[in-house]
Amino acid sequence: MVKENNLSLYNTLTRSCRPFHPIQEGHVGMYVCGPTVYGDAHLGHARPAITFDILFRYLRHLGYKVRYVRNITDVGHLEHDADEGEDKIAKKARLEMLEPMEVVQHYLIRYHRDMEALNVLPPSIEPHASGHIIEQIEYVKKILESGYAYESCGSVYFDVSRYNADHHYGKLSGRNIDDLLSTTRALDGQEEKRNPLDFALWKKAAPEHIMHWPSPWSEGFPGWHLECSTMGRKYLGDTFDIHGGGMDLMFPHHECEIAQSVAAQGHEAVKCWMHNNMITIDGKKMGKSYGNFITLEQFFTGDHPLLTQAFSPMVIRYFILQAHYRSVVNFSSEALQAAEKALGRLQDAYMRLQALNPAEKSTEMVPDLMAKCYEALDDDLNTPNVISVLFEAVKIINSAADGLVRLDAGDIARLKELFDVMLGEILGIRLESVGSSSDSEAYKGAVDLLMEIRANAKQAKDWTTSDLIRDKLAALGFSVKDTKNGVEWSVK
Ligand code: ZN
């Protein structure tokens, strides 16, 4: 039985909004803005998840202990902008006649399932905004104390012009308040604000708003920008190393976060900001209104008019990693097919590598490809360069498998380590699950059986049967090669 006064104990414990176990010296604190869970995940969700998964994996590989926090927005993200419209989750709950947390749970389970399919590691902590209302209220109080916020009709707003008189609002995105003001028009119903750029820290709930909590100002809910400042500080401390998210969050979300931390804590909280760029579909922004909105599940099943086939999660992952995280990725079915082919070539080379017999001495010098990969990753996480180094390895492996060069045991072991560490551990590609067929084992077995029948036919000089198998397979898109070590086949 929980006694009532336990709540005040909880209040005392959480009042400081500080971690119970602060990050140790030499460890890395990393915060990434997570999803608002009111619909199925799409490519736009996959990109930040995969980008920061690479960073998480690489830092851990280098020996850092990383505390990786990725939040779940389950309250306060309004439809039109940060302060206007209906709460996205509350709207879904109203339409489907569900409790808002049922909506959150439903889509969160599906989000986790998609992330697991993409081989995205779970973060260390996945805090929910709705689970940190007390901390958010405390944070608003601190901002009010600093004089950079004001109360108006039960809501609390951040005073952007007051803040900008002392600090630069817009420094992260290179904007300034005069330009912002000239492009912002005052919206109806915003007369509570002193200035149209001011953003809500706490909103008084309208009578029809179903998610609300008591606070010193009103029965209401926190503003969306507040949760990341509060939960980042709670789990990572007053200052932490890395804050990531999509480029679309840089303004206003991350600018607001900076202003909030400076106001509440007297200094910025984040040492390094990282933003991944966007994904376009056939050159257009992705959105429901463009009819080009494809969920991850639809990619995995191929069930969308813009898709010519299903694509395995590893192809999606590889497709995203082929581009540097700061450049725009343009999706098209052809681009994904090219990614599938390229990944297939990496997979074939990996399989051929496992079957190589070592020579006494290598006939060719194999460059230090591992060092080149580290260099690429240290250069702002340059995954396309890592991939091009892996293709240098593919060339060497294929030459060795075709008998053109010979590799000794040391070189073969180094190439295996390169694939296992760079492609498997850091790029997070599960090599065994490439290809859109879930029955790939059975499929491989069947083609191998055809190869065996063809070999027997050849031995018996039954050229009609052996040519028939080769030609029919070629017509189906297979390539069959007779090598010194037997027959090799692949899909072109
Ligand atoms: Zn955020």
Both 408 and 462 in one domain: the answer is no
Q: Closest Cα partner for 50 from 361, 315, 272?
A: 315
**Helix/strand/coil percentages in the chain, nearest 5:** 50, 15, 35
Residue 211 is part of a domain; what is its CATH number? 3.40.50.620
Both 48 and 100 in one domain: the answer is yes
Residue 358 is part of a domain; what is its CATH number? 1.10.730
Instruction: Give residue 36 CA to ligand 1 midpoint distance, Å.
Output: 10
Cα dihedral 212, 215, 218, 219 in deg (nearest 10): 20
Half-sphere exposure of 472 (CA within 13 A, CB side): 10
d(CA 8, CA 19) in angstroms, rounded, equals: 18
- Judge whether 3 lies within some domain: no
**pLDDT tens, 332-367?**
999 999 999 999 999 999 999 999 999 999 999 999
Q: Are 129 and 75 contacting, i.e. CB atoms less than 8 angstroms apart?
A: yes
Q: Which residue has the tokens 């051929």?
A: 352
For residues 271-275, average pLDDT: 94
Both 139 and 240 in one domain: the answer is yes
Q: Of 290-304, 334-348, 367-381, give the lowest mean pLDDT range.
A: 290-304
d(CA 144, CA 72) in angstroms, rounded, equals: 26
Both 472 and 396 in one domain: the answer is no
Instruction: Give residue 45 CA to ligand 1 midpoint distance, Å.
Output: 14
Calculate what percentage of the chain has a pLDDT beyond 70. 91
Confidence of residue 440 (pLDDT cuts 50, 70, 90): low
For the record, the structure tokens of 81 come out as 């902008």
Both 383 and 336 in one domain: the answer is yes
The 10 Å Cβ neighbour count of residue 465 is 14
* pLDDT at residue 423 tops 60: yes
Number of domains in the chain: 3
Q: Closest Cα partner for 227 from 248, 196, 256?
A: 256
**pLDDT tens, 83-109?**
777 888 888 888 888 889 999 999 999
Instruction: Give residue 374 CA to ligand 1 midpoint distance, Å.
Output: 30
- Judge whether 201 lies within some domain: yes
Which residue range forms the structural domain that includes residue 406? 281-433
Both 34 and 167 in one domain: the answer is yes
Both 250 and 220 in one domain: the answer is yes
- Last residue within a domain, chosen from 231, 254, 276: 276
Q: Of 134-138, 223-227, 284-288, 335-339, give the lowest mean pLDDT range.
A: 284-288
The 10 Å Cβ neighbour count of residue 191 is 10
pLDDT (0 to 100) of residue 477? 77
Radius of gyration of the chain (CA): 27
Both 249 and 374 in one domain: the answer is no
**pLDDT tens, 398-422?**
999 999 999 999 999 999 999 999 9
Instruction: Give residue 227 CA to ligand 1 midpoint distance, Å.
Output: 7
- Judge whether 1 lies within some domain: no
Instruction: Give residue 411 CA to ligand 1 midpoint distance, Å.
Output: 46
The 10 Å Cβ neighbour count of residue 100 is 20
* pLDDT at residue 323 tops 80: yes
- Residue 395: strand pairing partners: none
Q: Are 422 and 373 contacting, i.e. CB atoms less than 8 angstroms apart?
A: yes
Q: Of 185-189, 429-433, 487-491, give the lowest mean pLDDT range.
A: 185-189
